[in-house]
Chain A
Amino acid sequence: MRGALRNLMTIRRLLIRHIDTNMAQTAIQIDALEFRWRPDGPICLCLPALTVDGGKSLFLHGPSGVGKSTLLNLIGGVLQPVQGRISVLGRLLGEMSGAERDSFRADHLGFIFQQFNLIPYLSVLDNVLLPCRFSRHRALRAGDVQAEARRLLAALDLDPALATVAATQLSVGQQQRVAAARALIGRPDILIADEPTSALDAPRQAAFIDLLLSEAGAAGSSVVFVSHDPRLAVHFDQSLALTAGSAA
């Protein structure tokens, strides 16, 4: 009986993976994007075209204030463009309702921020498990969520003894790796990292990026990596420089 159930679960997981790989031919497609904060205000971000293929990694760089964060908000479906279209995994964000975008983000996107990524009052393990609470889809894909969370933490070089520790007790480097584990659990289709290494020193930056990219590769996730430091571009498949008011 239990064996039959496990078979059924496996079939279901394979089905989900099959559908996902079909959908994820193009991870992100942006056309003629324009964004301004106020309808009569200046254009803050202008992006004629951007395509990220499924499983590929994109490096986004540019000085502060050129709209990198705005672009991430747009891809995350938290902001709406004034003009142009953004489609993520073949779905047009503009055609979804706010609640649909929220659950779409929960299901398919994983985020890592610059620092203070973790919810301070939760344990390390609970922080990693958070996406599975918001998204059934990701919980299903993770399978045994507890085991998967511990596997990811181990893969990201974290001591298993830290799993039950409060998030605030970790060092910045450890916190970033926990954040990476959280972003990767349940194999989201797209991993978005906003300056995740700027709080780390140079040798650990490269190590972190390598670890992140190899785990994202193992999960089959596309990666959008934002940094103001163009030297990091060598690690990625494609790279895009944003300049003030427009993108080159």
Chain B
Amino acid sequence: MKALLRLAVMSAWNRRLDGFALSVSGTDLIVGGRAHPLQLVLYAVFHLGDAPPMMRWESCERLAGDPAVAWHIPLALGDSHHGYPVVGTTADYFAHFQYGDRQALRLAEGRPFSGLFEAVVGAELAAHMGYRLGQSIELSHGEGEIHGMDHDDKPFTVVGILAPTGTAVDRSVQVPIQSIEALHLDWLGGVRAPGFSIPADQVSKFDLTPKAINACLLGLHQRGAVFGVQRRINAWADELLTAVMPGVALDQLWQTVGGAERALQALSWLVLAVGLGGLMAVMLAGLNERRREMAILRSLGAGPRHLLGLLMLESLGVSALGALLGLLLVTLLTFFGGELLAAYGLAALPLTVNDSEMQLLGLVLVSGLLVSLLPAWRAYRLSLADGLIPRL
């Protein structure tokens, strides 16, 4: 039974890996400076790995003007808050960003940002740091690992808290992209300009249009146009850009880690086999102790066939219980362990069980039944030989 449980957990892991791809959905293309597609996707969606080259703001504007493009979400990354990534973006982020099964972001509390120094925080971050609406927070330059590199002169106010998504969004601080620009007005080459600072109430006098961004998420009017648009962007003469279909890039990732996944799968099959073997061994070993019980049932009018059925039913019950417990565990894990897994950059897992897993569970039940055949047959033989009075 334990083994069946473990199998379910294993299958959950596989599913969890699939869920990775669900961190971003509805986005047709991710555009950034020329880089490896995987690097771009990992950085833009999961905030993992090294930053790919920036792209110019004008290029983003031009993309937005492309007739095939329905919406665009510029992303300016690189700052952090207590180790959590900061995402500079526009209000379109809340309107168009989708994850999982095309679910839109939802605010648990508050509203999207509208003013310059307003922030919307992810669910996990808010829970972990104990943030409420109205909380004042400071961002740090870069990953925040160097002391004194804080943007402590320009604090932000939390105006919204997002509902949990099970994606990287849960761990991010979303701020207006102009405020990222504002933060760095008095910075020069990655450090605070010495003897020169611009107070927060003065920044609106400056042009806060960003010069460059890290990436831009694009949604198209028609998905079918995606290859044409991708080719156009990749062949752009003005700037070296990379346009990636997120699904394709993540598939590439799977091909890389596919070996590990297959090994995991093989292991889960092995675990299943050992588990079923254990079930059979336990049933066979328990048979001797149960000869008395079977003799009693026999005396009450049960035929040998009844006993055969009884044992098979028992095995089926045990398998079903194991499968159910496994399902339950997977569901609980998704519910309560989602944050933990999200910490490793893994994405939302849909709670529905898909067909192939149902087939797998069915297979577990059938094999549980098959495994019981030998003990049940032995019980049948024993009950014929023992009759009503087992010789123990």
- Within the assembled complex, what's the spacing in Å between the Cα atoms of A133 and B302? 10
Least CB distance, A196 to chain B, in whole angstroms: 12
- Within the assembled complex, what's the spacing in Å between the Cα atoms of A113 and B305? 22
CB-CB nearest in chain A for B300: A134
B388 adjacent to A102 (CB under 8 Å) = no
A120: chain B residues at CB < 8 Å are: 293
B301 adjacent to A73 (CB under 8 Å) = no
Q: Classify the secondary structure of B's interface with A.
A: helix
Judge if B210 is at the interface, Cβ distance under 8 Å: no
B302 adjacent to A73 (CB under 8 Å) = no
Asked if A113 meets B295 with Cβ closer than 8 Å, knowing A79-B387, A194-B389, the reply is yes
* Binary interface encoding of chain A residues 20-56 relative to chain B, with 1 for a CB under 8 A from any of its CBs, else 0: 0000000000000000000000000000000000000
A117: chain B residues at CB < 8 Å are: 296
Within 8 A of A (CB), among B266-315: 292-293, 295-305
A73's partner among B296, B303, B389 (CB-CB below 8 A) is B389
CB-CB nearest in chain B for A103: B301
Judge if A94 is at the interface, Cβ distance under 8 Å: no
Least CB distance, A194 to chain B, in whole angstroms: 6
* Binary interface encoding of chain B residues 372-392 relative to chain A, with 1 for a CB under 8 A from any of its CBs, else 0: 000000000000000111000
B301 adjacent to A102 (CB under 8 Å) = yes
Flag the segment in A8-16, A83-91, A104-112 that touches B. A104-112
A107: chain B residues at CB < 8 Å are: 301
A78 adjacent to B292 (CB under 8 Å) = no
B304: chain A residues at CB < 8 Å are: 98
Least CB distance, B207 to chain A, in whole angstroms: 80
B302 adjacent to A102 (CB under 8 Å) = yes
Judge if A135 is at the interface, Cβ distance under 8 Å: yes
CB-CB nearest in chain A for B297: A119
- Within the assembled complex, what's the spacing in Å between the Cα atoms of A72 and B387? 9
A135 adjacent to B389 (CB under 8 Å) = no
- Within the assembled complex, what's the spacing in Å between the Cα atoms of A174 and B336? 49
Within 8 A of B (CB), among A128-161: 130-131, 134-135
A116: chain B residues at CB < 8 Å are: 292
A105 adjacent to B299 (CB under 8 Å) = yes
Least CB distance, A188 to chain B, in whole angstroms: 10
- Within the assembled complex, what's the spacing in Å between the Cα atoms of A157 and B287? 34
Asked if A99 meets B303 with Cβ closer than 8 Å, knowing A73-B387, A73-B389, the reply is yes
A119's partner among B296, B298, B303, B387 (CB-CB below 8 A) is B296
Asked if A105 meets B389 with Cβ closer than 8 Å, knowing A113-B295, A120-B293, the reply is no
A113's partner among B297, B301, B302, B389 (CB-CB below 8 A) is B389
Asked if A76 meets B387 with Cβ closer than 8 Å, knowing A116-B292, A119-B293, A120-B293, the reply is yes
Judge if A238 is at the interface, Cβ distance under 8 Å: no
Judge if A214 is at the interface, Cβ distance under 8 Å: no
- Within the assembled complex, what's the spacing in Å between the Cα atoms of A130 and B301? 10
Asked if A78 meets B298 with Cβ closer than 8 Å, knowing A73-B388, A99-B303, A102-B303, the reply is yes
- Within the assembled complex, what's the spacing in Å between the Cα atoms of A33 and B389? 20
Asked if A130 meets B300 with Cβ closer than 8 Å, knowing A113-B295, A119-B293, A120-B293, the reply is yes
B389 adjacent to A69 (CB under 8 Å) = yes
A73: chain B residues at CB < 8 Å are: 387-389
CB-CB nearest in chain B for A134: B301
B292: chain A residues at CB < 8 Å are: 116
Can you list 19 A-B contacts with CB-CB less than 8 angstroms, sorted by A residue number? A69-B387, A72-B388, A72-B389, A76-B387, A78-B387, A102-B301, A105-B299, A105-B301, A106-B301, A113-B296, A113-B389, A116-B292, A117-B296, A119-B293, A119-B297, A130-B300, A131-B300, A134-B300, A194-B388
Q: With contacts A76-B299, A106-B300, A113-B389 known, what are 5 further pairs, Cβ within 8 A?
A: A72-B389, A105-B301, A106-B302, A111-B300, A113-B299
Identify the A interface with B (CB < 8 A): 69, 72-73, 76, 78-79, 98-99, 102-103, 105-107, 109, 111, 113, 116-120, 130-131, 134-135, 194
